[in-house]
Amino acid sequence: MRRRVAREAAVLLYTSQEKEFKQAKERAAESLGARVLPSNLEVAEELDRIADEFEGSERQARLIRMRREALRLMEALEKFQPRLIGSVWRGTARRNSDIDIEVFSSDLESVLEELRGRGFEVVEVERVTAARNKDVVESTHIYLTLESGEKAEVIIRNPEEMGKERLCEIYGDPVKGLGLRELQRVLREDPLKRFVP
Look at residues 65, 132, 50 and name the one whose alpha carbon lies nearest to residue 98.
Answer: 65
> pLDDT tens digits, the chain, 197 residues: what are they?
899 999 999 999 999 899 899 999 999 999 999 999 999 999 999 999 999 999 999 999 999 999 999 999 999 999 999 999 999 999 999 988 999 999 999 999 999 999 999 999 999 999 988 776 667 778 899 999 998 888 999 999 989 888 888 888 888 899 999 999 999 999 999 999 999 98
State the alpha helices, DSSP H only, in 56-97.
57-76, 86-90
The sheet that has 135-145: what strands, in order across it? Answer: 83-85, 99-104, 151-157, 135-145, 121-132
pLDDT for 181: 97
pLDDT for 132: 66
Going from the C-alpha of 169 to that of each of 39, 42, 71, 108, the distances in angstroms are: 10, 12, 25, 26
Cα–Cα distance measured from residue 167 to residue 107, given in angstroms and rounded to the nearest whole number: 26
- Indicate the residue type of 195: F
Domain boundaries, the chain: 2-55, 58-189
> Residue 23 is inside which H or E element, if any?
helix 21-32
The CATH number corresponding to 58-189 among 3.30.460.10, 3.30.420.40, 2.40.50.140, 3.40.710.10 equals 3.30.460.10
Cα–Cα distance measured from residue 155 to residue 177, given in angstroms and rounded to the nearest whole number: 13
pLDDT for 164: 84
Cα–Cα distance measured from residue 47 to residue 13, given in angstroms and rounded to the nearest whole number: 8
Are the CB atoms for 144 and 122 separated by under 8 Å? yes
Judge if pTM exceeds 0.75. Answer: yes
pLDDT for 133: 64
Look at residues 157, 91, 79, 88 and name the one whose alpha carbon lies nearest to residue 118.
Answer: 79
pLDDT for 99: 97
